[in-house]
Amino acid sequence: MHGAASVWAQNWDAATQPPDLILTTDMCDVAQLKGLMPRHWTKVKVAVMFHENQLTFPWSPTDPDPEHGRDNHYAYLNLSTGLAADQVWFNSAHHRTVFLEAAKQWMERMPKPKPKGIVEKVKAKSKVLPLGLHLEDWDQFKPQQGVPSWSNVETPILLWNQRWSWDKGTDAWMHLVDSILQRDIPAEFVVMGKPFERVPDGWESMKEKMGRRCLHWGFVESDRAYIEWLWRCTIAPLSPKQEFFGLAVVEAMRCQTLPWVPKEHAYSETMPEGHLFLSEGQWMGALEKRQWQDWPLKEEAYESQALQFEWSQIQGLLNDMVQALLRDEL
C-alpha cells in the first residue's frame, strides 16, 4: 500500500501526456498518488476500486499484527484514499455499507481535533460495481458423461476453491471434514487453492485424514482443469469471516455447484431469489438428511444467476460510470 503510488510516479515526468482517468485499487494510497502527479495533471480523474478494506478485515488468531500492537495506519490509508479519490467504487452494496459504518466508528475513536464530514464525503461519491467475470464459454469444459442433477447424486463431492487463509473460513471447513469422517457420512472432497503467506494450522494434515476421499488437493495450474473440477463438484460449503463479493462461489454456481453459504456478507446480492442459506452449524444436518437431493431451486437457477456477472453484462455499467465521472456527474 505504501509503494504503489511512488512506483507509478517513476514513469511520469513533465512531458508525460495526462490520461483521462486513473483507475486503481484500495491497495494504492490515492492521496499520495495525487501528490506525486505532474503539475499539468490537475484535471486527471482518479477512481478507486475497493475489493476489500483494512477497516474491517478480520484478524487471525495467529496474525502477528495484534501481537505487535500495530496501529490502524492501513485503515486510515483506506479512508484517506476514499477522501482523495474522485469516485469510490465497491464490489458490492454490502461492502460499501460495512466500510462506511466502520469508518464512522473509527473516526469516533480518533483523537481531537477530529476532521468533520470525511465519511459523508466518501459516501457521497461512492458507487457499486460488481466484478465482471469471463464465464460464457465454460460449457465446453463439462464432463463428457454430463453433469448429474443434484437429485441423482448419492455421494456428494464437496468443494473448496478459495485461498487457504483463516479469513476464508478454513476452521469451519476442517471441522466439517472431521465431522463427516467421524460419522462416516458418504462424501468426497476437492480442495483447490493455495496459501497466501502461511498455511492455517491443521490444514495440511486434513489431506491425510481424508485419504482416498480426497479427489484433488492443491492449486490447479490451468483454467481448464480448474473449471473441469468445478463441473464435477456437488456442494460448496463455505463460511468465511468476511466476503465482499464471493468470486469463488459465483464461479462454482456457474458450473452448477450448490453453494451452502450463510446469509451474512455479500451473498444476499449474488444468490438467486429463493435460495436457502445455510450456516456452518447447519451443514451436518443437511448432509445427513441428503438435503441437496430435494433442494428448493434447480441447478439452472444458480448457473443463470452467475451469468449475470459475465463481463459482457458488467461492461456497460463500467462504461457508464466512467463517462459520468469524466463529465463530473457524481
What is the domain-level CATH number for residue 282? 3.40.50.2000
Residues 241 and 282 in one domain: yes
Residues 140 and 70 in one domain: no
Structure pTM? Answer: 0.92
Residues 163 and 276 in one domain: yes
Task: Please tell me the predicted confidence (pLDDT) of residue 185.
Answer: 97
Residues 150 and 283 in one domain: yes
Domain count along the chain = 2
Residues 151 and 235 in one domain: yes
| Beta carbons of 273 and 249 less than 8 angstroms apart | no
Residues 318 and 303 in one domain: no
Cell numbers 478507486: residue: 48
Q: What percent of the chain has pLDDT over 70?
A: 95
Residue 245 and residue 266: Cα distance in Å, rounded? 5
pLDDT in tens, 53-82: 988 877 666 666 555 544 577 888 899 999
Residue 161 and residue 219: Cα distance in Å, rounded? 9
4 versus 47: the higher-pLDDT residue is: 47
Residues 72 and 184 in one domain: no
Residues 21 and 112 in one domain: yes
Residue 220 and residue 141: Cα distance in Å, rounded? 15
The SS3 call for residue 145 is coil
Crossing angle of helices 247-254 and 299-307, rounded to 10°: 130
Q: What percent of the chain has pLDDT over 90?
A: 78
Residues 240 and 299 in one domain: yes
Residues 152 and 98 in one domain: no
CA distance readout (Å), 285 to 158, 180, 262, 276: 15, 11, 15, 14
Return the amino acid letter for 218.
Answer: G
Residues 297 and 319 in one domain: no
Task: Please tell me the predicted confidence (pLDDT) of residue 206.
Answer: 96
Residue 285 has pLDDT above 60, yes or no: yes
Domain that residue 88 falls in: 4-132+312-326
Average pLDDT over residues 145-168: 95
Residues 42 and 11 in one domain: yes
Average pLDDT over residues 78-89: 95
Detail the DSSP E strand segments found in the chain.
Answer: 21-25, 45-50, 87-90, 126-128, 157-161, 188-192, 214-217, 235-237, 258-260
